[in-house]
Amino acid sequence: MPDKLFFASSNAAKLREFQGIGREHSAGGACVEALRGFAELPAFPEKAPGFAENALGKALHYSRICPGMVFADDSGLVVPALAGAPGVRSARYAGPHATNEQRIEKLLKALSGKEGASRSAHFVCAIALASRGRAVAIVTARADGVILERPRGSGGFGYDPVFLFPPIGKTFAELGEEEKNRYSHRGQAFRKLLNFLNGEAPSD
CATH number at residue 13: 3.90.950.10
Q: Mean pLDDT of all residues in the chain?
A: 93
Residue 14 lies in a domain: yes
Q: Does residue 17 carry a pLDDT above 60?
A: yes
Q: Does residue 172 carry a pLDDT above 70?
A: yes
Range of the domain at 160: 4-197
**Of the candidates 195, 192, 136, 190, which has an alpha carbon nearest to the alpha carbon of residue 16?**
190
What pTM did the predictor assign? 0.92
Q: How confident is the model at residue 176 (pLDDT cuts 50, 70, 90)?
A: very high
pLDDT average, residue stretch 130-135? 97
Rounded distance between C-alpha atoms, residue 5 and residue 151, angstroms: 34
pLDDT digits (tens, 9 = 90+) for 38-92: 999 999 998 899 999 999 999 999 999 999 999 999 999 999 999 999 999 999 9
Looking at residue 24, its pLDDT comes to: 80
Q: How confident is the model at residue 25 (pLDDT cuts 50, 70, 90)?
A: confident
150: exposed, middle or buried (C-beta count within 10 Å: 0-12, 13-18, 19+)?
Answer: exposed
Q: How confident is the model at residue 122 (pLDDT cuts 50, 70, 90)?
A: very high
Residue 203 lies in a domain: no
Verify whether residue 74 is a known catalytic residue: yes
Residue 161 lies in a domain: yes
Residue 24 lies in a domain: yes
Residues 3, 74, 160, 204: which is the catalytic one? Answer: 74
Whether 162 and 172 have beta carbons less than 8 Å apart is answered as: no
If one counts the domains in the chain, the total is: 1
pLDDT digits (tens, 9 = 90+) for 177-195: 999 999 999 999 999 999 9
Residue 204 lies in a domain: no
Residue 202 lies in a domain: no
Main-chain dihedrals φ then ψ at residue 161, nearest 5 degrees = -65, -20
